[in-house]
Structure 1
């Protein structure tokens, strides 16, 4: 039997069924997004332990049993929200380093990406780095993995600038840690100076050291 024969003999899927199935998938996706938006607001407002699936389901406009068909537990829902923030952080660094610019400008863009992440959604930053469930291995792993991804992206730029692998990775972790600490201090202090000045200060610390290390 040829492939053509097989195709002819295969039962056709009615167009109405395809449309119905597509509609169901779209509705399911929309419900998941609604659940994530609601959970994000509740977790940021009340923390992990203070949040309840009852409040999340009500805010999402669905019953709790329906919510559980999308996320098996509160921890599963928390991890989904957490991963969304972590992905945004990593994507910010990736976009900053993908620019067609010199090394110094890329460092500034990478540092700015951390400040933007902290500044544009302080609640999300708190959720990521001050999690109420840090003892959960899956939470620690996700945060550590995201920070590692950022360091890998930065280290690739440092290697391209002539630094050896070991020092590039060590300096990349230093840059990531310094950027995060500086941005967090700036936020906790009540944004005492304009963000651009805070970024310039952090960049001066990072880039003066990195440029010297690269030359060596």
Structure 2
């Protein structure tokens, strides 16, 4: 029986997808330990258990592979914020869950946090764009909740970036400092800062001088 090209492509898709996942898993492990410049496609192919020619059928260069790994972490970060806000009840709880999502992100995978926020290839425009875009997506999610609470678009977006920036910087400091206090206490501190500040903005808008 003769198979059409699409039939062959479809039949090979699951195996190719699995190989791609294997490559990404191997690359994550190598990049986290050795960094971008210290890693080599040889190291990654050995860890993935495949030849370099096969590796290059999935990713044309080390930078392409690095970007794929980076994007996976960025997607996880954005999804964490989205899920946190969807499960929250009330505005303060939404702020708390958004802050906690950042702390969970850096706490549960310090290597991923390093790749996202301390990329060894920041001079690459594509790396900077991906990180900036992901942070912007997080701010959009938070700003939507602030607008729903009655804040105007301009202030909502500005405050959302404040929440996002304070959360990820505080979480990084907490991790880099060796987790000096329990995560819950650290989250409470950042939430108090963000919530009191947001309440002040909302009050000033509802009671203009």
Of the candidates 66, 73, 82, which is equivalent to residue 94 of structure 1? 82
Q: Where do 5+ consecutive residues of structure 1 fail to align?
A: 1-12
Q: Where do 5+ consecutive residues of structure 2 fail to align?
A: 205-209
Structural mapping, 1:1-216, within 5 Å: 21-216=9-204
- Cross-structure match for 1:10: none
- SS of 1:44's partner is helix
Q: 1:18 to 1:212 in 2, by over 3 A?
A: same
Cα distance, 1:24 vs. partner?
Answer: 1.4
CA distance in 2 between counterparts of 1:48 and 1:200 reads: 35
CA distance in 1 between counterparts of 2:132 and 2:4 reads: 47
Kept in 2, the 8 Å contact 1:90–1:146? The answer is: yes
CA distance in 1 between counterparts of 2:33 and 2:25 reads: 12
Cα offsets for 1:189-211 (capped at 9, x unmatched): 10111111100011000001101
CA distance in 1 between counterparts of 2:4 and 2:154 reads: 59
Kept in 1, the 8 Å contact 2:88–2:97? The answer is: no
TM-score (norm 2): 0.93
Runs of 4+ in 1 over 2 A off after TM superposition: 13-23
Q: CA RMSD in A?
A: 1.7
